[in-house]
Structure formats: structure tokens, C-alpha cells
Amino acid sequence: MKPQIWHLSDARQSLVLVGENGDLPQIIYWGARLRGEDLAALARAHRMDVTGGMLDENPPLSICPEAARSFSGQAGLKARALEGDLIRPRFKFVSAQEGDNSLALTYADGGLRYTATFAIHPQTHIITAQASISSDAPIYLDWLAAPVFPAPQLSDEMFDFAGRWIGEFQMQPHPWRAGILARDNRTGRTGHEHFPAILLPARGATNCAGEVWALHYGWSGGHAMLAEELPDGRRQIQFGHAPQTEPAPITAFDTAPIYAVFSDHGFNGCATAYQRHLRDEIVTWPHPDRPRPVHYNCWEAVYFNHSLPELKDIATRAADLGAERFVLDDGWFGRRDDDTTSLGDWAIDPRKYPDGLGPLIDHIHTLKMTFGIWFEPEMVNPDSDIYRAHPDWALGATDQILGRQQMVFDMSNAQVREYLYGQIAAVLTAYDIDYIKWDHNRVLPHADASQARGTYALLDRLRADFPRVEIESCSSGGGRIDFGIMARTQRVWLSDSNDALERLRIQHNAALFLPMAVTGSHVGPRHCHTSGRVIGIEMRAWVAAARHMGFEMDPRELTDHEAGVLRDVTAWWKANRDWMRRADILRLDSADPAVIAEQQLAQDGGRFVVFAGKADTSAQILPRPLRLTALEADARYRIRLRNKGDAIGLSRGAPLLKSDDMVVTGQYLMRQGINLPWSFPLTMWVIEGERL
Ligand code: DGJ
């Protein structure tokens, strides 16, 4: 039998799969676009030698490596029959369906069928791949990997993500070496600690140059990932639901989609592919043409102390600063005076709101702001009427360790979903609400995939019935950020840290996946509540203005100077948000490790803004020139320092941008870079550029 060959490609990359003898195919090539290649020759050329101490042939590293074919690395499927026997299939080809940019392959072994789908998006370059299994007889499924991708060989390290509350998106380098790098998220949610992705740079790749491969698993129930180097040197990447999160026997199962992309423009080539794909293909926008509104969120201003006159006063001040949406956070329902009580009792607290939410919402509407509200639907406090009525609705043992004094509803229970739907729908029906901040403040008592499926079902039903309501995914900040939840929401609360310095770093790394349009960023209080730092209003405002901007301090604390800066930066953001919403966020390779810099480049390349944040003091005395990226080498650009006025007395020299615009070529900006004035740490330079 001739090898079966499939080639998916876009202008940037090629993915070539080859199956021999009707067996599962291997991805024999994933990288820069192949042109005019004889694919049959490629299939033969891919074969590797064997030597002493090896089997007589190399067992295929297929899209679902099979133990029964002597593959001695990690298998792509781990399952058991009901009686407990291991299932070790040897799949054989059944059918292939080829579309313009897609491929569906089905294989079977007896009553077990395996399907893998691949689709490559010609504009965003994202490859979406998914695996499914179905079985005539129920089986226990311990692990099914989404289609398995090979990892590059000319690569010495890989990056995955760690994190914590108020410290999300920490990139972790790991050297490639024999054996397995494994992630196994047992928390039952995406988690601050486990953003489900891996980046695989070729040796020498930077933000702006070189080859990088990336994969992200779009699932909110906790993932597992393994990056394995086999004794023969081959490398595989597997992603799937965390093992053993399907406790009951199944007859059908789909992995979540894996989103893969190759870049020959460094990390930025992956970042812009993910940003565009998320914004344009994953998120569904209730009001696609409405500018992203400036948020005001009252959490760090009042916490649980809701007083109608105070909230009205705060709203008036927020509107005056430029806010366009007021979000009433935790504390409006049940008897929620602190975090020990009332989750699950979603009735408005008559002590705080004797006439309901109407008076507050009316006031907010007279200020021309829209109104948003906080829920934490999946959670229940033992001290709540609903828990007292239905203790059996909570997930896990009754004597489990609580998290923030709360338990988790069993979202796989249809009665629970019905109840929550009724409670939320009642509030959305009674009032003119255009936004929900959907929180999730603890890990699960045990990981179970049906929990995320139940949450998705509730979200899908609410979205179908209230299609004009936007939803923000929050989970103590960034504990639930992934493309699965983003298919149902429009914004993420990236972090509970409103510390502009922390935020600068978190935003910078999150931009590897998230565009400005979905990334919430708020100007926090002068004394940061999560770090104790005192950061000037300029830095706080510009960091928020680099993403979907909002405020979260008590506006009554602002001095005239602070209010003036905030008004000015907010006005700037409003004037620029429409093109920035569609812009690419490009991480710059800063020569100075103290500077975290990015360039937001308009879709048509005609304008850009650079945010150069000084996160620390520098080792050398003067700023090093900052190189830009992705400009037209021969075009001329006018460059202007937007916040010249922030230059301080210790900047005694005369770099051109302190006084004038400069007009230079893209070549100069990319090869030499911009000289910026000397500045203190915890400050930001904002540089605007326009192609002439
Ligand atoms: C955690 C969120 O991340 C905060 O922004 C806030 O909404 C609190 N929960 C409310 O309890």
C-alpha cells in the first residue's frame, strides 16, 4: 500500500501527515511553508536509520502514539475495559475527508473508533486540531491526547507557564533533555498556575526573529501536557484533559481543541496569530461595532460596604473621569457583608438596596454609563439558604476543606444549572444590564471534567437568551483564561493585581495569547491593595491604557493632579481604542532588561504606539536605544513622545524626542532604535508613530 499523504498549508506554514500501511499518520513536517515539494519523496525522506539496541524499525510517533505498535514513549490513548483490562488499540484507516483547509481522519479497531480533525485558518495561521474517540462498549478513559504534534529538534528549551494569585503568566524555561516534562493540573479549573500552553523556540529565537512553535489547549477544566524526548531523540507534545477526570465509563469523548501555530517571526509571530484568532474567530461579540467601553469597577473602592448614596457619588466621579460602564462587584445580594456567606442566594439585599437596583442603575444611566454586575455562579457558601435547602447540590465531601469559606456547586447536575439559570436570568430580566463579571474563586474539591462542561452549558444557555450581555471571565483574577472559556466570554480579568508594575509584566506575557480587546486592566488605588506599593498615577494610567482600560480605585482619593492625568490618558485611550482593538501587540526585544516594552501596530501598518515601561533601575546609566519591529524598512515614520511632560529634572540632556518629533525610516527604527530620556523606575514612555 502506498503511503497516504496529506498536506495542509497556508501562506506561512505547512503541516504534512503521512500514514503507512493504513496505520495512524505521523506529522512528518510542521514548519515554514513547503512549495513545490514532491510529497511522496518527502514521505520516504523522513525515514530514520536504526542501529544497535533498537527495534528493527522505528515505531511511529503518530498523532496518537500506540503502545501496541511497540511505541515505548507515552501513548496517546490510555483506556480500560469495564472489567479493568487495558485497551491497546491498533487503529486502521477508515476514511479521510479533505476540505480546502481542513482534514478529518477516521480510524478503527473493532468497536473503537478514533477521529482526528485539523483545520488551518488562512488568515490567522492557527491550526485547530481535535481528537475524538467512540466505543461500542462503554470504557474507562484515562487519557486521550489531542492530535500529537512533534517538537522541533534545533531547540534547546521550551517555555510553559506557572503563576499564582496576583502573579499570573510566569514564563518558565525548561531545557530539552531525555524524558518527560509533564504538567498535570488537578485543580479542576484552568488555574493561575497552569495556563495551558507551550512555546518551542528554535535556538536563538527572540520576540521579533527566529522560528517558534506554539500550542495552546482550549479547555477550562484543567489540562495535562507532556513534552517528551524519546531515547532516539524524537520529541512529542501531548495535550489533553487532566487524566482521570472522566470518572464514569464513556462511549464517546472529544478532546478540547488544540491551537497550534508556527512562526518564523519569533514569539511575536505566534502571539499575533493567537491574538487575531482569539479576537476574530473565538470570541463572539454582542456589539461588534461598539467601542470597548471604559470600565469602572467598585471592588477596591468599597468591597462589601455598599451604600447607595456613596455608590452614586462614586459613579458620578467615575463618569466625569471618562468611565462608560459601571460594574457593581461582590456584595449586592443575600446578606453578603463579607466573604463568609450568601453565595448561591442571588436575591438583591434589601438592607443595602431597599428599592432594588433600580435607583442605582437609573443614576448610572443618567450618567450615560451602562451597568454591569458581579456573579459567582458556580459557588455556594454553607451559610446560605440554598445550601441549607440542598446540601447535596455541592460537589465533594461534606467535610471537605473549604476555599474562601465556600463550596462548589456540582455543575453536572441539571437541577443546579436550572436553579442558577433562573436566579441569573431573573436579575438580567428585571434590569437593564449589559455585562456580567463571572467569578470563580476556588479550586474544585476534586477535578472532574463534567464540571467545566456544566459551566459551559449554563453560559451557553444564558448567552442564547441574553445575547446582548457581555461576560468577563474572572477567577480570583486570571484563574480561568483559555480559549474554551473565551468562546463564551469577551473579557478576562487578567489578575487581581492592580499594581501597575506587576500588571506590566503579566500583560506582557499574556500578550503571547491575548489581544487588547479582551484584556481587562484597571487603574488601581494609589496605595496598591495587593502589594503595598505606591505608584504614580501616570504609570498606573498608562499601564491600564495599554489594554481594555478601566478604573478600580475610589475616585474620592484622587488629587486634582491625579484626576487630571487620568482624564487625559482616558481621553487618549478613547481616541485610539478603535485601531488598537484591531492592532497586533508585538513584544519588543529590549536591550535593557529593566525595560518591558511593546509595540501595538495597526492592522494596516500605518500607525503604532510603543509602551516602554521601566520595571526596575538599569545596570547602565543611560537608556539603551529601543529597537522597534515589523515596520516597512523603506518607509518614513514620524515619531512623537506622547508624554514628554513626564520627563524629570534628572534627565538633563537633549534627546530629540524630549522636544521634537523625529522623522526616520523603518530601517533605522528597527536596526538602531529610539533614544528615550532618562527616567525613574515605575514610569512609562509612550511613543506614537505614524507612517508618512
Ligand atoms: C475576586 C475577583 O478577582 C475580584 O476582582 C473581586 O471580584 C472579588 N473576587 C469579589 O469577591
Tell me: the pLDDT tens digits for 569-591? 999 999 999 999 999 999 999 99
Q: What pLDDT is recorded for position 1?
A: 80
Mean pLDDT of 426-440: 98
Mean pLDDT of 490-509: 98
Which atom number of ligand 1 is nearest to the Cα of residue 474? 3
Calculate how far, in angstroms, residue 495's C-alpha sits from the geometric centre of ligand 1: 10
Summary mean pLDDT of the chain: 97
Mean pLDDT of 417-424: 98
Catalytically annotated residue among 434, 496, 554, 592:
496
Which atom number of ligand 1 is nearest to the Cα of residue 339? 11
Task: Give the Cα separation of 331 and 354 in Å (integer).
Answer: 14
Taking Cα atoms as reference points, which of 333, 331, 327, 330 lies closest to residue 370?
327
Calculate how far, in angstroms, residue 328's C-alpha sits from the geometric centre of ligand 1: 11
Q: Which residue has the CA at smallest separation from atom 9 of ligand 1?
A: 476
The length of the chain in residues reads 692
439 counts as catalytic: yes
The pLDDT-based confidence of 592 (bands split at 50, 70, 90) is very high
The residue extents of the domains of the chain are: 4-281, 304-468, 494-579, 588-691
338 counts as catalytic: no
Name the grid cell of 670: 528597527
Which atom number of ligand 1 is nearest to the Cα of residue 476? 3
Dump pLDDT digits (tens) for 151-205.
999 999 999 999 999 999 999 999 999 999 999 999 999 999 999 999 999 999 9
Query: Over 90: is that where the pLDDT of 207 sits?
Result: yes
The pLDDT-based confidence of 314 (bands split at 50, 70, 90) is very high
Q: What pLDDT is recorded for position 133?
A: 98
The pLDDT-based confidence of 542 (bands split at 50, 70, 90) is very high
We find that the CATH architecture of domain 588-691 is Sandwich (2.60)
Percent of the chain with pLDDT strictly greater than 70: 100
If DSSP codes are grouped into helix, strand and coil, which group holds residue 286?
coil
Q: What pLDDT is recorded for position 240?
A: 98
Of the listed ranges 35-49, 222-236, 303-317, 346-360, the least confidently predicted one is 35-49
CATH H-level, domain 4-281: superfamily: alpha-galactosidase from lactobacil brevis (2.70.98.60)
Residue 189 CB contacts under 8 Å (≥ 6 apart), including other chains: 220, 221, 222, 440, 443, 444, 452, 475, 479, 480
Q: What is the DSSP string of 26-77?
A: EEEEEEEPP-S--HHHHHHHT-----TTS-SSPPP--SS--GGGT--S--SE
**pTM over the 0.95 mark:** yes
Mean pLDDT of 38-45: 94
Calculate how far, in angstroms, residue 468's C-alpha sits from the geometric centre of ligand 1: 23
Q: Are the CB atoms for 296 and 325 separated by under 8 Å?
A: yes
Task: State which of 375, 493, 499 you would mutate to test the pocket of ligand 1, scoring each by most atoms of that ligand within 8 A of its C-beta.
Answer: 493
Q: Is 476 a pocket residue for ligand 1 (Cβ < 6 Å)?
A: yes
Q: Is 329 a pocket residue for ligand 1 (Cβ < 6 Å)?
A: yes
Place of cell 523606575: 681
Half-sphere exposure of 542 (CA within 13 A, CB side): 23
Mean pLDDT of 365-394: 98
Parallel, antiparallel, or unpaired: how do β-strands 435-438 and 370-375 relate?
A: parallel
Q: What pLDDT is recorded for position 17?
A: 98
Q: What pLDDT is recorded for position 280?
A: 98
Residue 18 CB contacts under 8 Å (≥ 6 apart), including other chains: 3, 4, 5, 6, 25, 26, 28, 42, 43, 46
Q: Is 207 a pocket residue for ligand 1 (Cβ < 6 Å)?
A: no
Mean pLDDT of 260-267: 98
Q: Is 375 a pocket residue for ligand 1 (Cβ < 6 Å)?
A: no
Dump pLDDT digits (tens) for 618-644.
999 999 999 999 999 999 999 999 999
Q: Which CATH class is domain 304-468?
A: alpha beta
